[in-house]
């Protein structure tokens, strides 16, 4: 069995699942509803765009799609910070998502730089 830490298809899919599960913990109110929506969009987009990059038609297409995954991972970390501001009681759980989004961003950046 392979370690999902090194399988980016599975790792990004797991990340999206964790984003969805964490979003379900956030209390729903007028402040958090837009944050949840944006958080889920960016967090699940990381894997969707990585999967597209994995099937890219060219090197430039690969770099472009991976660049989108990188941006979405960065955006997800931003939304996590906003969620922590709105719901400080969820900080510990939120920081796990934040850490993974930062790691994915760094991994994508390294792959892009190595591919160029």
This prediction's pTM: 0.93
Q: Which of 28, 63, 66, 22 is nearest to 47 (CA)?
A: 66
Q: Which contacts of 20-23 are long-range, i.e. CB under 8 A and separated by 24 or more positions?
A: 20/44, 22/90, 22/93, 22/94, 22/97
Query: How confident is the prediction along the chain (116 residues), in pLDDT tens digits per residue?
Result: 456 678 999 999 999 999 999 999 999 999 999 999 999 999 999 999 999 998 999 999 999 999 999 999 999 999 999 999 999 999 999 999 999 999 999 999 999 999 98
Spell out the domains of the chain, with CATH numbers in brackets: 31-115 (1.20.1440.60)
Q: What is the CA radius of gyration of the chain?
A: 14
For residue 57, give Cα distances in angstroms to 52, 64, 78, 110, 112.
10, 11, 31, 20, 16
């Amino acid at each position: 069995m392979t370690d999902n830490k090194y399988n980016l298809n599975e790792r990004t899919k797991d990340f999206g699942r964790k984003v969805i599960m964490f979003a379900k913990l956030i209390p729903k109110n007028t402040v958090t509803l837009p944050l949840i929506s944006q958080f889920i969009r960016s967090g699940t987009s990381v894997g969707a765009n990585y999967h597209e990059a994995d099937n890219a038609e060219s090197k430039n297409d690969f770099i472009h799609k991976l660049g989108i995954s990188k941006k979405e991972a960065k955006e997800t970390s931003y939304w996590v910070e906003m969620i922590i501001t709105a719901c400080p009681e969820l900080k510990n759980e939120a920081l796990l998502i934040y850490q993974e989004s930062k790691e994915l961003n760094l991994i994508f950046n390294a792959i892009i730089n190595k591919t160029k």
